[in-house]
Amino acid sequence: MKNLSVATFGGGCFWCVEAVIQRLNGIETVKSGYSDGQIKNPAYREVCTGRTGHAEVIQVVFNPDIISYHDLITIFMTSHDPTTLNRQGADSGTQYRSIILYHDETQKTIAEEVFNELKSVFPDPIVTQLKPFQIFYEAEQEHQNYYNDNSEAGYCRMVIDPKVYKLKKMYADKLKD
């Protein structure tokens, strides 16, 4: 029986984070969704207003015997800009904040270790929020597996492709075959 764990985090548009993380060896599932807000069962159109308090996040089921939480968070942190508050590229608003929602104290401690290890990598302070996980609302079906299903779309080519190429260059040894 597999020993599986869950991680929840967001770094801007969930399409970008999903596209990067689902390419890693040891990842079982990746779901795009919303978390850390005030309303139940939000819809994409509501989250986009920035008034729900939710962030666009992904929830990942992974095998820690294949990829550690430490490596997962390190890859996440280096696949987006964790030093910009409520912004990733042209996407701006609290729904695009960099956030890690830890599921237990061990995940919190590991995330803090990664922050400390990476602080010298970035020219500006890391502003990624670190908060306890409470609830995850899965996004609508059209937001799941977005990059794989729409790789020729302009947003995918302009915004997500460079992140995937960076992943392949920096973490080739962590990728699925």
Annotated catalytic residues are 13
Torsion sign over Cα 7, 91, 138, 177: negative
For 130, the 3-state DSSP assignment is: strand
3-state secondary structure of 98: strand
- List helix spans (H) across the chain: 14-21, 44-47, 69-78, 105-118, 146-149, 154-155, 161-170
Count CB atoms within 10 A of the CB of residue 128.
25
Is residue 143 within 8 Å of residue 150, measured between CB atoms? no
